[in-house]
Amino acid sequence: FLEPLELCYRSLCACGDKPIADGSLLDFLRQVSTFGLALVKLDIRQESDRHTDVLDTITTHLGIGSYAEWSEEKRQEWLLSELRGKRPLFGSDLPQTEEVADVLGTFHILAELPADCFGAYIISMATAPSDVLAVELLQRECHIKKPLRVVPLFEKLADLEAAPAAVARLFSIDWYMDRINGKQEVMIGYSDSGKDAGRLSAAWQMYKAQEELIKVAKHYEVKLTMFHGRGGTVGRGGGPSHLAILSQPPDTIHGSLRVTVQGEVIEHSFGEEHLCFRTLQRFTAATLEHGMHPPISPKPEWRALMDEMAVVATKEYRSIVFQEPRFVEYFRSATPETEYGRMNIGSRPSKRKPSGGIESLRAIPWIFAWTQTRFHLPVWLGFGAAFKHIIQKDIRNIHTLKEMYNEWPFFRVTLDLLEMVFAKGDPGIAALYDKLLVAEDLQSFGEQLRQNFEETKRLLLQVAGHKDVLEGDPYLKQRLRLRESYITTLNVCQAYTLKRIRDPSFEVTPQQPPLSKEFSDKEPAELVQLNRGSEYAPGLEDTLILTMKGIAAGMQNTG
Residue positions annotated with a catalytic role: 195
3-state secondary structure of 519: helix
Q: How many C-beta atoms surround the C-beta of residue 200 within 10 A? A: 28
CB contact at 8 A, 70 and 39: no
Which helix or strand (DSSP H or E) is residue 291 part of? helix 273-292
- Distance (Å, rounded) from C-alpha 491 to C-alpha 429? 7
| Strand pairing category for 149-154 and 258-259 | unpaired
User: Which of 207, 404, 415 is closest to 305 using CA atoms?
Assistant: 404
- Distance (Å, rounded) from C-alpha 70 to C-alpha 131? 13
- Distance (Å, rounded) from C-alpha 327 to C-alpha 506? 25
Helix axes 363-372, 190-197, angle to 10 degrees: 70
User: Which of 181, 155, 174 is closest to 47 using CA atoms?
Assistant: 155
Q: What are phi and psi of 331, to 5 degrees?
A: -60, -45
- Distance (Å, rounded) from C-alpha 290 to C-alpha 255? 8
User: Which of 345, 337, 342 is closest to 545 using CA atoms?
Assistant: 345
Q: How many C-beta atoms surround the C-beta of residue 356 within 10 A? A: 11
- Distance (Å, rounded) from C-alpha 57 to C-alpha 282? 48
From residue 397, how far is each of 391, 392, 461 by CA, in Å? 6, 9, 15
Helices H / strands E in the chain, number of each: 28, 6
User: Which of 214, 256, 191, 257 is closest to 45 using CA atoms?
Assistant: 191
DSSP per-residue letters across 449-492 = HHHHHHHHHHHHHHHHT-SSTTTT-HHHHHHHHHHHHHHHHHHH
CB contact at 8 A, 27 and 38: no
3-state secondary structure of 539: coil
- Distance (Å, rounded) from C-alpha 222 to C-alpha 457? 43
DSSP per-residue letters across 160-177 = HHHHHHHHHHHHT-HHHH
- Distance (Å, rounded) from C-alpha 434 to C-alpha 329? 12
- Distance (Å, rounded) from C-alpha 554 to C-alpha 480? 8
